[in-house]
Structure 1
Amino acid sequence: MAELVVYTDGASRGNPGPGGYGVVLIWGSLRKELSQGYRKTTNNRMELLAVIVALEALKKEGLTVTVFTDSKYVVDSIEKGWLWSWVKTNFKEKKNKDLWLRFIPLYKKHRVKMQWVKGHASNPFNNRCDELATAAADSGHWLVDEEFERTCG
């Protein structure tokens, strides 16, 4: 069985401001792209949401998935174990609890390896995700990041 490779990126115009995510899923010779813009959000929320959307798009459970992202926030939260410490404290004084709680069951369904990749460099898939994310942020066709707007204005 082929390994699933995922590239993700998030962007915001202002922090907070209009934002978007971009995802490229690669399964053997198949490739799928996903993106969406949001009216008011943050870069970190879009980085994390990109990973969530990628994992939500998987139709089977138990897959081996390598997620490439230029977000140290996302990679370090998972690979350095910060997320599991936050869970133990019910995310006390931590941002993006709603998204992390959405992420955790998706993460547990698969064998996920998070891999940091340098942003705005020579990786064509990361660059494509950046194009998708920034186009979504700039599109004017935005969804509402309801939890962010409810709690942060």
Structure 2
Amino acid sequence: MLIACSLSHFACADAIGRTAVPAGYNRRLKQITLITDGSCLGNPGPGGWAAILRFGGKTKELVGAEPQTTNNRMELTAVIEGLNALNEPCEILLEIDSQYVKNGITQWMANWKKRGWKTASKEPVKNQDLWVALDEAVSRHKINWKWVKGHADHADNNRCDELARDAASRVR
């Protein structure tokens, strides 16, 4: 079962990572909770990612892995895959323990794009391919980003961490 929210893509993410819903769009968006995490055994090394989607009392767990990657790439991939699993625009509470991903999408990306995907120090943005994919994925949804402390007493984040570490260990 795919947790789904099937309409066309719309809107662009603003500077704080939320999506502007187009004028005249008055259908209530489905409310989804998305929890994500990435893991890497060595950095770089084998990596895994996990996403938990919750909608209407139902839960879907997604996992994946790569044999040679970094923790940041797995964190980004978890969010991208979680968002791409949705079939239509949704209102999403996205719980994430990665400041890198949260700050990248909500604070840094607009300037990276203005500078032609360069950092403030004029260096190429690392993981640009995934940032571009994330930018596309968030543009279809209204997202509220919530940072949660990793490896703390947060059951969903702990479950995501377990799934991601498991996936990474299986790809070795």
Asked whether 1:52 is paired with 2:54, we answer no
- Give deviations 1:56-81, integer Å, cap 9, x for gaps: 000112x11111010000111122x2
Q: Identify the match of residue 101 of structure 2 among 74, 84, 98.
A: 74
Aligned-residue CA RMSD in angstroms? 1.2
Structure 1 runs of 4+ aligned residues shifted over 2 Å read none
Q: Identify the match of residue 142 of structure 2 among 108, 111, 114.
A: 111
Residue pairs, 1:1-153, within 5 angstroms: 2-61=30-89, 63-79=90-106, 81-92=107-118, 93-140=124-171
Displacement, 1:90? 2.2
Contiguous gaps of at least 5 residues in structure 1:
142-153
| TM-score for the superposition, normalised by structure 2 | 0.78
Give aligned-pair identity as a percent: 43
Letter in 2 for 1:40: Q
Larger Rg: 2
| TM-score for the superposition, normalised by structure 1 | 0.87
Displacement, 1:84? 1.1
Q: Which structure features the higher share of helix residues?
A: 1
Count matched residues: 139
Contiguous gaps of at least 5 residues in structure 2:
1-28, 119-123
CA–CA distance in structure 1, aligned partners of residues 116 and 160 of structure 2: 31
